[in-house]
Amino acid sequence: MTDLYNYDLLLKRVRAAIPENVATRDRFEVPSVEVLHEGKNTILRNFMDIVKKIDRDPSHLYKYLMRELGTAGNIQGDRLILKGRVSPSLIQRRIDNYIKTYVICYECGSPDTELRKEGRIEMLVCKACGAMRPVHARIDVRMGRIVLEEGKVYEIEITDLSRDGDGIGRYGEYTIYVPGARKGEKVKVKILKVKKNVAFGRKVN
């Protein structure tokens, strides 16, 4: 009589049930961004290579980057064309954040996931362990979303410059544009206008 609770037998059954693409998955390595500047535009040369590796809809990543970078652009073949001069490091950080939020399973760390719509809620479903969570419930911001308020002063570090020479800094999930600020300096900024996750301010003493 077969022992239904025999450890070796159970282990074989579990291994047999694992999808082949999970059991034989190669190390998950997303290509680093390949960026060049042409005039006032920024070109992400390997946009489609990144999309294929993370197995997501190109338009989904495109819309995310437009929102996070606070700019406009379009997909041309395998490339993403962005309006303005955007630093490679900033694009890389946004793509890394996208992968953490929309690709990697928060339970087992597997990239073998898919996005599903349940009503109006977008869910991240793991094919490896079965875990499911709303993608807006980002694990690294569970303590609550920081909200910028117009008229208030915040201290930020300027990490990039826009095509017009304005300083660009980050505060929580916001991208803040500060005229007259220089890259690398820490400044106090009075917020003049907030639109979604993009804000505009001016330096104060």
Which residues, listed in sequence order, are joined to residue 154 by a DSSP beta bridge?
A: 189
Structure tokens at 29: 């390595």
pLDDT band at 9 (very low <50, low <70, confident <90, very high): low
* Each residue's pLDDT tens digit, 106-154: 888 899 999 998 888 889 999 988 888 888 644 443 334 567 889 999 9
Q: Under 8 Å CB-to-CB from 183, ≥6 apart: which residues? A: 158, 159, 160, 161, 167
In a domain, 78, yes or no: yes
In the numeric block, which tokens belong to residue 201?
């301010």
Same domain? 136 vs 159: no
The whole-angstrom separation of Cα 95 and Cα 101 is 10
Asked whether residue 17 carries a pLDDT value surpassing 80, the answer given is: no
CATH for 98:
3.30.70.3150
pLDDT of residue 174: 85
Higher pLDDT, 166 or 173: 166
How many domains is the chain built from?
Answer: 2
Which residue range forms the structural domain that includes residue 105? 35-141
Answer yes or no: is 15 within a domain: no
Domain-located, residue 123: yes
Strands 121-126 and 132-134: what pairing? antiparallel
Same domain, 63 and 39: yes
Tell whether 131 and 168 lie within a shared domain: no
Examine the domain organization and report whether 130 and 158 are in the same domain. Answer: no
Do 64 and 110 reside in the same domain of the chain? yes
Q: pTM here?
A: 0.57
Mean pLDDT of the residues in the chain: 84
Q: Which amino acid is at 182?
A: R
19: in domain: no
Count CB atoms within 10 A of the CB of residue 192. Answer: 13
Q: Does 112 reside within a domain?
A: yes
Dump pLDDT digits (tens) for 58-115: 999 999 999 999 889 999 999 999 999 899 999 999 999 999 999 999 888 899 999 9
